[in-house]
Chain A
Amino acid sequence: MTHRAHRDQAPDTGVTYVFAVCRGTRATRTADVTGLVGMPGGAAVRLLPSGPLTAVVQTVPAADFTDEVWQSRLSDPREIERYARAHHEVVSAAAAHGPAVPLPLATLYHDDDRARRALDDEAHRFHRVLKRIAHHAEWGVKVYEPATAPEVAEPVTVGGGGLEAPAAGAGLAYLNRRRGVQERREQRRERALSVAESVDAELREVAAASRRLRTHGAVPGGDGRVHVLNATYLVAEHRSEELGVLVRGLGERTGAMIELTGPWVPYSFVGEV
C-alpha cells in the first residue's frame, strides 16, 4: 500500500491532481479558476467535467508527487504548510460556486481519463455527500483549560525563627503540600473536561453532524493553556449566527476559553457517507 508510486513514469510526465468535486451546474461549469495558483510547479488550475459532476483539477509534474518526495515533504513543516495552504485555497475557491467535496491532499491520477473514471465510479457517493453538505458549513470549536495559575508557595508555618532546626513534621507537611498540588491539578483537569463535554452537547443541538478531532495538548507559544476539546460541526448556513451566539454565551457561562473557527468547506464531513 505504501509504495504504489509508479517508478516507470517518465520524470517529466504530468499527472492529474484533483482538489474537489462539484455538481456540474452552470455556475461551476463556467467558474473562473484561472486566477488560482494551485500546487507549486503545477500547470493552470482547470475544470474537468465528467457527466453531472465537475472536478477542479491541475496537471502537476509526476516527479514532484511521488511517495518519496511526499515523505520528506511531510517531515518539513514549512513545505507541508505550503502545500496544505495551496490545496485549501483551491478547495475554498471551488466551494464559492456551490457545494464542493474536498478530496484529501495529494489525490492524484495518471491522467484526466483515470480521474474521470474514478469520479464516475463513485458518482453516487459524491451526489450523496453533495446533498449532505449543500447550504452547510463546517465550524471548528476548541476549548482550552485556562493557563495554570502559578502555584502559590504556602507560608511555611513550622518553626518560628529562622535559626531553629526544622520542627518535626516539616517533611510530612511538605508531602501534604505536594499532594495538594497534584489534587488541585486533577480537579482542574476534570473541571475542564466536564466543561468540554457540556460545550459539545450544547453545540450538537444546532449542528446537523459533529465530529471530535484529536486534541493538541499544550498550546505552543508558552501561555500554558491546554487544549481539552477539538470538535467540529456541520451547521446549516441559516444557523451559523445562532452557533456564534451560543459559543459566546458558553464562554461567558463556563469561563472557559472557547475558540471558533470557520466557516470551513466541510472537510470533516465528506468521508463517512
Chain B
Amino acid sequence: MAAERAVVPWDSPEPLSGPIGVPLVDLLDRVLATGVVVSGDLVIAIADVPLVRVSLHALLSSVSERVPAPWADGGPL
C-alpha cells in the first residue's frame, strides 16, 4: 500500500485513463464514498453509507497507522 502512494498522480489532462496508476486512496474516496444513486436488490449494506464509512475508516487507518495523524480529530474537515 505504501508503494501505491508513491504513484505519481496523472498531472496532465489526458483522455479518461484506465485504472493503472490511479492512487487507491483517491479511488476509494470515489468508488465507495459517493452518494447512492439507486438501491440494489442485494448487498445493500455495501452501498449503505454508515457501513462504508466504518469499514473505510478501518481500512484506511490500517493504511496509515504507521504515521498517526497529528491531531486527534483526523483533520480540519
Contact = CB atoms under 8 A, between A and B. Distances in A.
Nearest to A126: B37
B47 A106 contact: yes
Please classify how large the interface on chain B is, using the bins under 10, 10 to 19, 20 to 34, 35 or more: 35 or more
A263 B16 contact: yes
Interface in B25-42: 25-42
B60 A216 contact: yes
Nearest to A137: B16
B34 A270 contact: yes
Contact of B46 (A70, A102, A193, A222): A70
A3 interface: yes
Interface in B1-43: 1-2, 4-6, 9-19, 22-43
Contacts, number: 212
A62 B47 CA distance: 16
B10 to A, nearest CB: 7
Contacts of A224: 67
B59 A220 contact: no
Contact of A18 (B36, B40, B45): B40
Contact of B17 (A92, A220, A260): A92
Contacts of B12: 244
A137 B15 CA distance: 10
A232 B9 CA distance: 14
A181 interface: no
B34 A104 contact: yes
B1 to A, nearest CB: 6
A137 B10 CA distance: 14
Nearest to A3: B45
Contact of A220 (B30, B32, B44, B63): B63
Contact of A84 (B31, B62, B76): B31
A104 B32 contact: yes
Contacts of B69: 217-218, 226
B43 A5 contact: yes
19 contacts: A2-B48, A4-B45, A67-B43, A77-B1, A77-B62, A110-B41, A118-B40, A122-B37, A140-B9, A218-B68, A220-B64, A230-B29, A244-B12, A260-B11, A261-B10, A262-B10, A263-B13, A263-B14, A270-B35
Complex A-B, nearest 8 residue pairs according to Cβ-Cβ distance, in ascending order? A271-B35, A217-B69, A267-B30, A215-B75, A74-B55, A106-B46, A218-B67, A261-B9
